[in-house]
Every structure is written in structure tokens, then in C-alpha cells.
Amino acid sequence: MKESPREIAEIVENAMCEINSAMKHQLELGIRIGRRTTHIVRFTMIGILSLSVAMLYLISTLKVHANYLSNQMEKMSNHMESMEKNFNSVAKNMETMMYSVGSMNQHIEVMPSMNMSVDSISKDILNMSQNMGHLRQDISIMKTDMANMSYLFGSLNNQFGMMGYNVDRMAIPMKMFPFP
């Protein structure tokens, strides 16, 4: 079966048309895939950028609260030093009082020296009372600082809860992508 040149030309033309249409179809498919990939990449980058901004905000909030907590602990440390000084003063007054009681035992026969010892004890007790007053003030200041710290830890817990909620809310747009 011999085919004429015209028939061969038609067969070649049909084959070329089919190749041309297949190439057009392949080109359109490649463009569609490229557009979809571009959309996916854009949405992913927007999501990552949003998460980054949220994380920076949360980190700055954490830093502010940590600084405040550190300052409160520093104040509490200063009050502890003051309490230590007051305890040392009470200890000195106790030593003086013990010395006074010891000298009372030695001079019990002599009333004037006993009177002086009683006066010294009275002064030491007065000093102890004053030191106890200072100690009471320091303890009340420390109580206030502890209450502030408790409030800050509560606030910090709230911030972490809000941070978890915000991360969950930011992840919602990512759920619409068909990724596992």
C-alpha cells in the first residue's frame, strides 16, 4: 500500500497538530501548577511572618515581666539585708543583757550596782523592742513584696495561657492547606 505524498503530508500535519496541542496542554498544566505553588508559598510565608511577629511580641512581654520580677526580688534582697542587721543588733543586745544579768549575780549584795544593771537591762529591752519594731516593718514590707510576686506569677500564667490561645488562633489558617 503506497500512499501518496498528499496523504503523507496530511498524516504529518495531523501528527504535528496533535504534538502542538499536547505541548499547549502541557504548558497550561505547568502554568497552573506554578500558580498553585506560588499561592501555597505566599500563604506559607504570610503564616510564618505572622507567627514570627506574635513570637516577638510574646518574648518581649516575657522579658518585661521577668525584669519586673527581678526588680522585686532585688528589693526583697535589700529588705533581707536590713533584717539581718536588725537580727545582729538583737543578738548584741541579748549579749549585753546576759552580761548585765551576770554582773547582777556578782553584785547582788550591792543595791546601787544592781540598780544600774536593771537600768541597763531596761535599756537593752527597750532597744530590743525597737529592733523588733524594725523587724516587724521589714516583715510587712516582705509580705507586700511576696504578694506582688504572687500577683506577677498569676499574671505570667495568664500571659502564657493567652500565648497558647494566640498560637492556636494563628494556626487556624494553616489548617485549610491539604498538608498532613
12-58 pLDDT, tens digit per residue, is 999 999 999 999 999 999 999 999 999 999 999 999 999 999 999 99
Instruction: Pick the range with the lowest mean pLDDT from 42-46, 60-64, 152-156.
Output: 152-156
Decide if pLDDT at 180 tops 60.
no
* pLDDT digits 0-9 by tens, 101-148: 777 666 656 666 667 777 888 888 888 888 888 888 888 888 888 888
Q: Which amino acid is at 92?
A: K
Domain for residue 148, yes or no? yes
Distance separating alpha carbons of residues 50 and 167, to the nearest angstrom = 10
Q: Which helix (H) or strand (E) holds 143?
A: helix 111-171
pTM of the entire structure?
A: 0.38
Distance separating alpha carbons of residues 138 and 76, to the nearest angstrom = 9
Domain for residue 136, yes or no? yes
Domain for residue 142, yes or no? yes
Q: What is the pLDDT of residue 116?
A: 78
* DSSP string across 20-43: HHHHHHHHHHHHHHHHHHHHHHHH
Domain for residue 180, yes or no? no
Domain for residue 121, yes or no? yes
Decide if pLDDT at 77 tops 60.
yes
Q: Looking at residues 1-22, what average pLDDT do you find?
A: 88
Domain for residue 133, yes or no? yes
Domain for residue 81, yes or no? yes
Q: What is the tally of structural domains in the chain?
A: 1
Residue numbers of the domain that contains 56: 5-175
Q: What is the pLDDT of residue 122?
A: 85
Domain for residue 10, yes or no? yes
Q: What is the pLDDT of residue 107?
A: 60
Residue 36 to residues 39, 54, 74, 78, 88: CA-CA distances in angstroms? 5, 27, 57, 63, 77
